[in-house]
Structures are given as C-alpha cells and as structure tokens.
Structure 1
Amino acid sequence: MQRRTFLQHALVAAPLVGQPDLMTNSFPSQDLVTVINAGVGGNNTVDLLARMEKDCLAHRPELTILMVGTNDMNSKKHVPLPEYEKSLRQIVSALRAARSQVMLMTILPVYEPYLMTRHDPAFYQPEGHAARKVRVNETIRNVAADHKLPLLDMHHIFEKVGNIGLEASSLIKNEANSQKTDGIHPTPEGYRTMAVAVHTFLTQNQLLKNRIVCFGDSITIGDGNGKNYPAYLQQLTSP
C-alpha cells in the first residue's frame, strides 16, 4: 500500500504537458485494447528511425508510447545530443504524420557504479553520466512541450518509488534481486510499476486507445515470459 501511495504522488508530480492534439477523447472498450511490444534491445534513435515503418507504423497505432535515449547516451551506441534531438523529432513527426497520438517517457535512472564497470568512465567526461542523463531527459521534455505531447516522467517515478541501489527491493536489476550487476534494466516489479504508471496516466488523461504500440529499446522489450511493461499494460487493459 505504501508503494502505491508513493506512485500516486509521483504521478501527480508528472502532469500532462501542454494541450495534446488528441484525435479523440473517447475511451475504448477495454476488451478491444491491443498493446504491441515494438522494443528491440540495443536500439538508439537512429535504429528506431530505420525500422519505424516495419515495426511501428505497419501496426497503424492510434497511440505510440515512445521511450528511447538510454543507448544514445552510452558509449556503445552513442549519439551526440544534437543528433539525438534531431532523430527524436523526426520520429515524433513521422508518427504524428501517420495520425498516431504520441506519448513520450523520460529514460530511467541507473545504478551508476554498475554502469561504470560496463562503460569507460572517461567517455562521460567532462560532464559525467548523471549530467548527461539530465540533458537527455531535458531534451525529451522540450520535444514534448514543442509538439504539445503528453509526457510521463518515468525517471521521476523510479527515483521516488524505485529505491535504486543494491537492495533487493530496487526496481532496477542488481545482484540481490537478479544475480546480475545490471544497474539499468527494470526487475519484473519495476516493469509492473511502469505499467501501472502508464495505465494510470493514460486513463487519467483520456489517452487510452484501442491499438497501442510501445516503441523503444531493451527497456521496452524487457525479459521473456511477459516480463515487460507492454505485457503488464495489456493485462491492466483487459477485462
């Protein structure tokens, strides 16, 4: 009960941005809601642009939930911030041109000591990883504001609810809860938290649609056996 209360407070602090250009404000019948997971591990914005037609637009989404940026800001698939912003705006423009409502989400916090065992700390200099992540999330917020799109600040929610660190209760994978020095990807409980936050946000702001595509990277595709936020979101929208 305490975690749910924290989540409710976090959602209040993550309001709808602007006045989104909604195609309709009507609620769909919940037995007609289809949630499609279009996440691919390791993807950055360049990858999403390349596969958007096949993996997202081909499904004719009424709503596309977009979370991307974790790989753009890290060394293996790094995209400098100006190019990241340009690609993000291109994705949003293409989705809107296809008549899909677009909802953006900020990228998640990480457990930085684990991250620095996977990436060279020098790569994040001079600003450091945390400051770079702040700039990425600021870019996401700016794109949402400029296009008057709904924005769910998932980074804020995970910071308030997630206990990010070494405890087994952390919503991000660590040795205590997954036997992995991960520090980036959500646990099953983390994905359930994401799904509840998304579902609450969609219903509160009359954004729930019949056909929803969740477009992104490994944070979206998640683990097998339905352990990802799109799968849990499907459960929440089913009768």
Structure 2
Amino acid sequence: MSSEEILGRPTIVGFGTSITRGYPYVPEGDTWPAVLERRLNRKLRRERTQVTVINSGVPGENTVEGLARLEADVLAHEPALTVVEFACNDVRYEPHKRVELDQFRQNLEEIVERTLEVCAEIIICTPTPIVDAFHTYSQEVDFYEPWGGCNNALVEYDAVIREFAADAALPVCDLKQAFLGEAVRAEFEGAADDADDLTSIAHLISRYDGVHPTIEGQRLIAEELYRLVRVMPLG
C-alpha cells in the first residue's frame, strides 16, 4: 500500500512501566506495542488505515513518575487511544517508590482526566501477576509478609484499578486473568499440579525475576489488547 492510499494514520500510546517497555529481556520488535501495531495494521489494510503504536513504557516507574512525563510522552502525541499500565512499581516497598492505595487511585484519575483532553479512547490494564517463587527482590525483606507475598499485595492495586475503571466507565484489559488463565490451563493439561503455583507460567513471566514478561508473555499482552482495540474507532 502506497502512502497516497492511506487515509488514516492514528496513533496509539502504550503508557506504563517495564512491562510495556519490554525491559530487560525482550527486543523492541517483540514488545506488546510492536506486536499490536503489526497485527492491527494487517487487519486495517483493507480500511486504508495504518496505526503507529508508540512505546512510552519506562522501567521502574510508578504513577507519580508517570504523571511527571504525561505531557511529553502521551499528550504531545495526541493519540487516538492510550493504554495505561501501572501498579507493579507502586507496590514496591522502598519509601521513594511505594504509592499508597488512595494516592494510586488519585494518580490514575489525573492520568485519565488529562489524557481525555486530547485522546478519545483509553484502556486501563490490570497488572500482570508476580511469581513470588522467582521474586528474590521481595524475598529479601519482610515488608510483604502480612500479605503472604508481593503478588498478594499487588492484588490490592488490581482492585483499585478495577473499581476506578468501573466508576469511570473505562474498558479494562484484564492482564491478570489472562496470565492466571494460563496457569489454570497448565493444571488442566496436567503440566502443573496446582494453578496457584505460578511457576507453571515461567514461559510467560521470567524465572529470572518473577516480574517481567518474556517474549511469549508480551505476545499474550498484545493478543489481549487486540481483542479490545480491533473493534474501537481509531479514525
């Protein structure tokens, strides 16, 4: 398709953390923004539309830090759609990183309110699970003991995201359930004894740290987003 034949060139921004960036294990071309762009453009060719999916993921960031770069990394692109992915760093135990639940919600509200000034569509993602058995980072401290692990602490942020999305009438890309569903599949097929043992999804969440999606995990994220985005008006 020549550039003259293309009628629409909408932009999608993936705004989030290392989960979006693909850091530290996934090449740029295998991150979910890159995969989603390819899959959407394959579908949209017959509509003479070509999307650009911008990867605005920054490793290690919480919602406070995300807000600080919202103007430059999201609003300046005037996207047709913004995918918001935060929580995995808001739950961290270090005082300079941890964001309490009420502040986390306020930050999400501000991100969405400001983004809607220039962007018609927003999808908010639930966090991918943390495999505590691989997550030596949280095992080195006793901070997460009251929850029984970092992943259980993350569940509280997941609940805030769902509640906020319902209140704001935002579509949710349920990454948590997508990944947990693969653990259930492993149990069903006999590859794992118990779906609660998330080591069965080591092909999706890196066994090196228990947090970051692998290439296969990034592809699963792209697929889940594709299910939502394919029916959205992006013109």
Q: TM-score, normalised by structure 1?
A: 0.67
Aligned with residue 72 of structure 1, among 83, 86, 90: 90
Instruction: Give matches, 1:22-171, under 5 Å.
Output: 29=47, 31-76=49-94, 77-115=97-135, 117-119=136-138, 120-128=140-148, 129-161=150-182, 165-166=198-199, 170-171=203-204
Instruction: Name the SS of the counterpart of 2:116 in structure 1.
Output: helix
- 2:225 is aligned to 198
User: Which amino acid letter does the alignment assign opposite residue 98 of structure 2?
Assistant: H
Return 5+ residue gaps in structure 1 as ranges. 1-26, 175-180, 211-239
- 8 Å Cα contact 1:60-1:100 kept in structure 2: no
1:80-117 alpha-carbon deviations (Å, 9 max, x no partner): 111111111111111112233110010011110222x2
Return the alpha-carbon distance in structure 2 between the equivalents of residues 183 and 169 of structure 1: 8
Separation (CA, whole Å) in 2 of partners of 1:168 and 1:43:
24
Which letter does structure 2 place at the counterpart of 1:143? F
Shift of 1:43: 0.7
Question: Quick one: structure 1 residues 134 and 169, their matched pair in 2 at CA, closer, same or farther if it must change by over 3 Å?
Answer: closer
**Would you say 1:173 and 2:217 are equivalent positions?**
no
Instruction: Tell me whether 103-112 or 163-172 shows the greater mean CA deviation.
Output: 163-172
| Correspondence for 2:210 among 180, 183, 187 | 183
**Runs of 4+ deviating beyond 3 Å:** 27-31, 162-169
The answer for unaligned runs of 5 or more in structure 2 is 1-43, 187-196
The CA RMSD measured in Å over matched residues stands at: 2.2
Q: Percent identity?
A: 33
Greater RCO between the two (CA within 8 Å, min separation 6)? 1
Q: How many residues align?
A: 175
1:114·1:182 contact (CA, 8 Å) conserved in 2? yes
Tell me, yes or no, if the aligned pair for 1:95 and 1:101 is still in contact at 8 Å. no
1:209 Cα shift? 2.3
Q: Which amino acid aligns with 2:205?
A: I
